[in-house]
Structures are given as C-alpha cells and as structure tokens.
C-alpha cells in the first residue's frame, strides 16, 4: 500500500470529485444543447414531433445517412433575412444593459449600507433582501400590475395627494419593464456586492484616513477597487438572465417591447416552428457565451492573483 497522504493516492475518488461537475454539464447542458442544435438544422412539418428528418435507427446505417443528409443551415439563413431577429437581439441586450446599470446604481448603496450596519442587525438586513423570494416571481410581477395600472395604487396615491391630475401611463411601457426587471433581479446584485463589501479590511480605510485621505477619495481608491469582484459577479448574475427574460416584458411591457425571449416564444408556439426557434436559441447562447467567457476570465485571473 502506498502512503495514503500522498497526492493521487486514491485516483478513483479524485476522478469522481473532478468528474462530477463535468458529468453534470454533460447531462444537463451539453446533451440538451446538442438536441437543440440538431433540431435547429431540421425542417418544420405537420407531424408528431413537428420537424423532420427524424433519426430512424431501425434502418441501420442507412437511417443515419438519410438523417444526416436532411440537415442544413437554412434556418440560420432565415434569421439573417428578416431584421426582426436582429432588432430583438439588440433590444434585449439594450434592456438588459440599462437594467444592469440601474441595479448597480441602486444596489451598491444598499449593499454598502448593509455592510456598514452594526454586526448584530446585518443578518436581518440580508434576510430582508432575500425575503421577496418567498413569494413566487409571477405573483410579484402581477402585484406590479396592480401598482402601475392607470387605476392602480400608484396613480390613486399620486392623484389623492394632488401631485398629478391625470393618471400616469407607466403600465405596458418599457418603463414598466425596467421597473419589473430591476425589482425582480436586485437581490442578485445586492448579495454579491454585500459579500465583497462586508469582508473589506477596515484597517485600510483607517490607514488612508490617518494619512490624510478624504473619505470620498478613500472610497474611490480603496473600497471600489476592492469590491470590484462583487460588482462583476452582480452584473453578470443579473445581465445574463435579463437578456433572455420573457415573463416580465410579457406581463408589464407593451406590444412594442421587442425582446428575443418573446420572438423565440412566437416562433415556437405561434409558428410551431421548432427548428427556427432552436436556431434562435443557439444564437442566443452564443451571444451569452461571450460575457460568460469574459466573466470566467476575470475570475480565473483573480484566483491567480490571490495565489
């Protein structure tokens, strides 16, 4: 028997530990992705399932050949022919980007205040940020309809105190979509920010202050750079799901709010065109892989730096 403390002593356990996340990715990400990719290369038809060709293994090798020769990139060409898809992608990215900036502006002071609060009440504050998750997202978005609609709470309140004389039309506009997204995703921004601000070394700020640095300068030169990992994590955590958001724009947005999630829904459900909607999904994934890869890059550099 070899020394059990030596690295790699139990290769089986080691491989199991390393292999588990890969297996997870293979089963729950790669395999579904290849199914989607496969459908995106086929053609729509009235059948069950509504696309062709289908892989018929009972025909043996000939079945595989027939299936393979029926695949093509036609659906991707279709996406380039109509500017609708391009507009939808750009509009989704724009809405997600603006929402992310808004969340950073709101979330940073929140996280900062939480991190500065007395130690005893911090868990309660974290709890308060998480609390909305106890209610379903759908119910919370529906609640916004009740608040924002022309006869809703907000307008009733503003009319009552005399601030406005006509109801504000916020519901079914892009403003409502921003409100919905910012409200729903804000905790995902606040929590990583709080995590990085809370473990900030306060002696650094004291030292800066002793050396005559004004508070705003210390904040800008010490707190902000040190909280950057939290900022990056928060931004990606909210930006990526916001790009593919469907429920919020569907419920709160107007008909001119074009987002890729809605376009994909239309292709899949209204047109019953699984191949084209799969092609949209594959492209959406590519659009999202770029920021995810960037994020990975930043993170791995950080890990390197810490070594």
Partner 1 sequence: MTSKRFALTLAAVGLALGLGGEAFAQSKEVRVYNWSDYIDEQILKDFEAETGIKVVYDVFDSNEIVETKLLTGKTGYDVVVPTATFLSRQIKAGVFQKLDKSKLPNLTNIWPEIYERIARYDPDNAYSINYMWGTTGIGYNVDKVKKALPDAPLDSWKLVYDPENLKKLKSCGVMLLDSPEDLLPSVMNYLGLKPDLTNVKDVEKAAEHLGKLKPYITKFHSSEYINALANGNICVTVGYSGDIFQAKTRAEEAGKGVNVGYVIPNEGAQLWFDQMAIPADAPNVENAHIFLNYILKPEVAAKASNYVSYANGNLKSQEFLDEAIKTNPAIYPTPEVLGRLYTVSSIEDSKVQRALTRAWTRAKSGR
Contact residues for partner 1 (CB under 8 A)? 44-50, 82-84, 87, 136, 138-139, 142, 149-151, 172, 254-258, 263, 266-273
Q: CB of residue 284 vs partner 1: minimum separation in angstroms?
A: 18
Q: CB of residue 264 vs partner 1: minimum separation in angstroms?
A: 12
Bridge-partner residues for 88, per DSSP? none
- Compute the distance between CA of residue 111 and CA of residue 224 in angstroms, rounded to an integer: 12
- Select 196 or 277, whichever has its Cβ closest to partner 1: 277
Q: CB of residue 87 vs partner 1: minimum separation in angstroms?
A: 5
- Select 22 or 86, whichever has its Cβ closest to partner 1: 86
Q: CB of residue 51 vs partner 1: minimum separation in angstroms?
A: 9
Asked if 98 and 174 count as a contact pair (C-beta separation under 8 A), the reply is no
- Select 268 or 295, whichever has its Cβ closest to partner 1: 268
Q: How far is CA 256 from CA 15, 261, 304, in A?
A: 52, 14, 46
Q: CB of residue 68 vs partner 1: minimum separation in angstroms?
A: 23
- Select 231 or 279, whichever has its Cβ closest to partner 1: 279
Is residue 96 helix, strand or coil?
helix
- Compute the distance between CA of residue 2 and CA of residue 23 in angstroms, rounded to an integer: 29
- Select 107 or 253, whichever has its Cβ closest to partner 1: 253
Asked if 290 and 96 count as a contact pair (C-beta separation under 8 A), the reply is no
- Compute the distance between CA of residue 231 and CA of residue 225 in angstroms, rounded to an integer: 10
- Compute the distance between CA of residue 34 and CA of residue 282 in angstroms, rounded to an integer: 10
Report the chain's terminal Cα–Cα distance, integer Å. Answer: 33
């Amino acid at each position: 028997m070899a020394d059990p403390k030596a690295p790699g002593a139990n290769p089986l356990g080691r491989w199991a530990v390393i292999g588990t996340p890969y297996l997870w990715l293979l089963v729950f990400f790669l395999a579904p992705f290849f199914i989607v990719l496969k459908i995106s290369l086929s053609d729509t038809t009235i059948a069950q399932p509504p696309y062709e060709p289908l892989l018929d293994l009972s025909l043996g090798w000939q079945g595989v050949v027939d299936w393979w020769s029926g695949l093509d990139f036609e659906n991707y060409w279709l996406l380039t022919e109509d500017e609708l898809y391009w507009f939808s992608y750009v509009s989704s990215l724009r809405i997600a980007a603006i929402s992310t900036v808004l969340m950073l502006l709101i979330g940073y002071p929140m996280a900062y205040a939480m991190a500065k609060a007395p130690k005893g009440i911090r868990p309660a504050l974290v709890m308060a940020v998480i609390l909305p998750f106890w209610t379903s997202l759908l119910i919370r978005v529906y609640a916004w309809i009740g608040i924002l609609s022309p006869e809703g709470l907000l307008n009733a309140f503003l009319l009552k105190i005399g601030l406005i004389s006509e109801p504000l039309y916020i519901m079914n506009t892009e403003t409502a979509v921003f409100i919905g997204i910012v409200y729903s995703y804000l905790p995902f921004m606040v929590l990583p920010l709080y995590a990085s601000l809370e473990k900030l070394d306060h002696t650094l700020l004291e030292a800066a202050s002793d050396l005559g640095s004004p508070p705003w300068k210390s904040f800008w030169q010490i707190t902000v750079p040190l909280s950057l990992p939290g900022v990056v994590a928060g931004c990606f955590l909210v930006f990526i799901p916001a790009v593919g958001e469907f429920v919020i724009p569907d419920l709160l947005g107007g008909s001119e709010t074009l987002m890729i999630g809605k376009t994909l829904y239309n292709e899949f459900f209204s047109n019953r065109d699984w191949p084209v909607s799969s092609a949209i999904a594959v492209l959406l994934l590519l659009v999202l892989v770029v920021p995810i890869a960037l994020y990975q890059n930043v993170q791995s550099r950080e890990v390197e730096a810490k070594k």
